[in-house]
Amino acid sequence: EPSDAWDMLEKEAENMAGLGAKYILVHFPYFKEEVDFNTDEIIEEGLKKLSYIQDKYSIKLICEPKLGLNRSGVGIEYLNKFPLDIWEKYNLGLCIDIGDYIIATEDKILNYIEKWKKFICEVHLHNVFYSENEYIWTPVHPSQEQEDSSYKVKHIIEALANCNDVTFIFEHTPETNPSKEFVSEGIEWVAKIIDNTHYSHE
């Protein structure tokens, strides 16, 4: 039940604040599928609750929009239509999961990043590998920029690196069994992209 979820989040915020955690990541907004009611009202109602919890326990909450059922990107689309000035009132950060955003927005991802860059403070970084009806998170790697089977993410990383005070978190699931060398090469590649992006703007 939604009310139970909010109660659990508040208890978690209280516990984590007591442990000295810097922030809590919340999957929000989340819509399983397309709806026929006013999503702006639903999103703002959630923002009010999140902001209340954030202020009450003095712990930062970061919102990560997620795909719905069957890779539905409607939640990410509903967020993108949400007014920036209303979001700003609630002082909540935003996490961009590159895989979810690529699936939801395809080649329009930079437009979404540009709109929300003021609030983006965390990035979950990986590529996407499709296996039958599943999608798997794989490490990013420079070789993928030349592969037809992989998404090109360099320009996305460059755009996100221009956000103010953003943290990149590398993610992958174990199904493709990447080597430590492959993962390390990807991390080094991303570090160079970020360094070059910052240097070019100084």
Put residue 152 in one of left, alpha, beta given phi > 0 → left and psi -120 to 50 → alpha.
Answer: beta
CA distances from 40 to 44, 79, 120, 125 (A): 6, 8, 19, 28
Is it true that the peptide bond before 29 is cis, omega within 30 degrees of 0? yes
Tokens of 170: 């590398």
Residues with Cβ within 8 Å of 118's Cβ and at least 6 positions away in sequence, in order, are: 84, 88, 163, 164
Name which of 73, 67, 26 is nearest 46 in CA terms: 26
Q: Where are the beta strands (DSSP E) in the chain?
A: 23-26, 60-63, 93-97, 120-125, 127-131, 134-138, 167-170
Identify the burial level of 109 via C-beta atoms within 10 angstroms of its C-beta, where 0-12 means exposed, 13-18 middle and 19 or more buried.
buried
Residue 55: per-residue pLDDT? 98
DSSP-derived secondary structure for 78-130: HHHHS-HHHHHHTT-EEEEEHHHHHHHHGGGHHHHHHHHTTTEEEEEE-EEEE
Per-10-residue mean pLDDT of the chain, 202 residues long, equals 88 98 97 94 98 98 96 96 98 97 94 97 96 89 94 97 95 94 98 83 51
> What pTM was computed for the model?
0.92
Residue 198: per-residue pLDDT? 67
CB 62 within 8 A of CB 22: no
